[in-house]
Structure 1
């Protein structure tokens, strides 16, 4: 066994988070067939699991080994946002399994050039004429590239308060220098959205420009199609700092990257069904 360093401390904290949300530690140990005394050492930060036990633990919780070592604050954001549970539920659906069966990332490419956190900009369908800034994250989980993103809309009456929150989670499929996405809204659970993006290679900043379309399962949210700009901010998962910055912005706000605003235009080409 290796003694824990910084990454091992993160592992210990994340294991405690998972066990808190999965019942008793004893039940987890029985399920994964790991000695309780040894598992307590993992939870306390005294030891790090062997490579074999890491895979067993990761498989039990439906995660990749790499995600177990992520920053604890970022990890809790994923757990509290129910992203792990939602993706585990989706994987159990036979229709979903058939959908992704031919889309598995089978090559050895790490796709490190696209995984990480992005600012996501698009014109808002709720605040007409304003730009919605959301937080978007791509990460690798076993044989899949997955993503999730969060939208927050301030109240019309009191902008300091949040009126709406939407959380989307899904899969990414890099094909022929394009990134295809399919995701599901996890709070109202009534919308699917799809996107296709291309990276901008002529700029030193990292952008992906594309189009997203969404259709809700009821008449209260209109189907839409709109341009989307993704601005890469760095590696890792979403954390509280990213989520605090989510809002709706005037299109003349200088905080919006010039490249993103040029791509988005004035929003007049946003397609909505009336």
Structure 2
């Protein structure tokens, strides 16, 4: 486990400008940090929490076997064969990525991600979404907590969805996949923020129901901005599935994501939040 921790930490550091920069940001002595990287010492619980908060991962994730951790964290560059397979679409995709880089900067950070879940009719799921940029490309990471009563093993655990974010036609588009099984793609479409201050976003999600049903579904979304560096562990503890009248949910969430009017309509459209 100590070796996995060291390898996972080295992988995280590979995405940073330098190890020295990481040490300065964390306020950890470089010599001591090198011992963590070499597996000759284990971080204290306090330092481990600081490291995880800095890199945006959970403690239980950084302790995973290295191969499993790498599949969750790393979004590897496409191979030359993939670029060739895209053919004429490659320049267009590159142009979309480049045009999105600056536009998405104001959306950097973490969000609570609310929607009515098809797995528990009438209940609202609150997940944690992160938008971050690396080498000019914007990535998404959605973390959902599967509570013990909904788990076949009777244990609470997390599911992770990794994706890419684009800003196209004055809309935010996210396409992601389940990191553990790669059995489907999901799409999120959001209105941009209104006004100067980023507080909330609204839109739609299109995906496939979990468990054995595997039914395609769409639902209205409400995103609540949490800032660039919230206490991630505390935020994750607030995620899960809740009854619609749970007092722990903001009352306005239900109004934005409800679809009760569909009995009089054939189209589900997102509510646009106005300033």
Q: Name the TM-score class by shorter chain.
A: 0.5 to 0.7
Find 2:30's aligned residue among 45, 57, 74: 45
Q: State the Cα distance separating 1:265 from its structure 2 match.
A: 1.4
Find 1:198's aligned residue among 173, 191, 211: 191
> How far apart, in 2, do the equivalents of 1:23 and 1:116 lie?
23
Q: Which residue of 2 aligns with 1:256?
A: 249
> How far apart, in 1, do the equivalents of 2:102 and 2:224 lie?
22
> How far apart, in 2, do the equivalents of 1:96 and 1:207 lie?
39
Matched residue SS, 1:77: coil
Residues 112-123 of structure 1: matches in 2 within 5 Å? 112-123=105-116
CA contact (8 A) 2:164 2:176 kept: yes
Distance 1:266 1:252, change over 3 A: farther
CA contact (8 A) 2:96 2:168 kept: no
Q: Which residue of 1 aligns with 2:52?
A: 73
Matching of residue 91 in structure 1 with residue 78 in structure 2: yes
CA contact (8 A) 1:135 1:149 kept: yes
CA contact (8 A) 2:190 2:202 kept: yes
> How far apart, in 2, do the equivalents of 1:44 and 1:257 lie?
42
Q: State the Cα distance separating 1:216 from its structure 2 match.
A: 7.3
TM-score (norm 2): 0.63
> How far apart, in 1, do the equivalents of 2:210 and 2:102 lie?
36
Q: Which residue of 1 aligns with 2:8?
A: 21
Q: Which residue of 2 aligns with 1:61?
A: none
Of residues 165-174 and 99-108 in structure 1, the stretch that sits farther from structure 2 once superposed is 99-108
Distance 1:162 1:174, change over 3 A: farther
Number of residue equivalences: 218
Distance 1:157 1:167, change over 3 A: closer
Q: State the Cα distance separating 1:76 from its structure 2 match.
A: 6.3
Q: Which residue of 1 aligns with 2:41?
A: none
CA contact (8 A) 2:116 2:122 kept: yes
Q: State the Cα distance separating 1:204 from its structure 2 match.
A: 6.1
Matching of residue 236 in structure 1 with residue 225 in structure 2: no
Gaps of 5+ in 1: 1-15, 47-70
> How far apart, in 1, do the equivalents of 2:84 and 2:176 lie?
11
Residues 149-160 of structure 1: matches in 2 within 5 Å? 149-156=142-149
TM-score (norm 1): 0.64
Q: State the Cα distance separating 1:225 from its structure 2 match.
A: 0.8
Distance 1:94 1:183, change over 3 A: same
> RMSD between aligned alpha carbons?
4.3
CA contact (8 A) 1:152 1:162 kept: no
Q: State the Cα distance separating 1:239 from its structure 2 match.
A: 2.4
> How far apart, in 2, do the equivalents of 1:219 and 1:183 lie?
20
Matching of residue 140 in structure 1 with residue 133 in structure 2: yes
CA contact (8 A) 1:215 1:224 kept: yes
CA contact (8 A) 1:135 1:238 kept: no
Distance 1:18 1:155, change over 3 A: closer
1:100-127 CA-to-partner distances (Å, cap 9, x unmatched) read 4342224772733211000000001111
Distance 1:128 1:215, change over 3 A: closer
